[in-house]
Amino acid sequence: MKITETHLQDCFILENDKYEDERGFFTETYNKKALEEALGKSVEFVQDNLSKSYYGVVRGLHYQKKSPQGKLVRVTKGAAFDVAVDIRKGSRTFGKWFGLELSENNNLQLWIPEGFAHGFVAMSDEVFFEYKCTNFYMPSDEGSIYWKDTTLAIDWPDIKGIKISKKDAEAEYFENSDLK
């Protein structure tokens, strides 16, 4: 497993070793010791989530206000452009974003630490997106930043026919939120 820090403080790309032959492939998707060594801290996952999305679906940018979740995310089928936004006041990368394509083919994962907003757009007909979370989901604690926020200026891929939930379409702009 190769672990690379992004330009966002504490946010890492994990590239899993993949062993392929005529039978298929094998990959280790989680190794507690390797992840904790890279992060320099203990991590305990308490919840695993799986979402299925169709081409053009945008999910996010979501975060929890008082009970933030660290997330280890990956795509097991299809491809998605995944985005993390540092919303930790006092962080040297506060208000900055990082994005990359996660796909079943590139076998990459992204570690998104507590205190980040997260979202993605589906880039293939079907996307199966898995999340390992360090805290339980609490609907009453959820916040959302508008995915096309001009202050953040996320360079989303050119996807035709965007589909978004009512909740995400009505999300706050970063500049107008209590995060600023």
The active-site residue out of 55, 63, 118, 131 is 131
Question: Tokens at residue 23, please?
Answer: 């039978």
DSSP string, 130-176: EEEESS---GGGEEEB-TT-TTTT------SS-EE-HHHHTPBPGGG
User: Considering just the CA atoms, what is the radius of gyration of the chain in Å?
Assistant: 16
Asked if 131 is an active-site residue, the reply is yes
- Spot the catalytic one: 62, 63, 118, 146: 62
Catalytic status, residue 63: no
Q: Exposed/middle/buried for 77, CB within 10 Å: 0-12, 13-18, 19+?
A: middle
Count Cα atoms within 13 angstroms, Cβ side, for 98: 21
Sheet holding 2-5, edge to edge: 2-5, 12-15, 108-112, 71-77, 126-133, 47-54
Could you tell me whether strands 108-112 and 71-77 are parallel, antiparallel, or unpaired per DSSP bridges?
Answer: antiparallel
Which residues belong to the active site? Answer: 62, 131
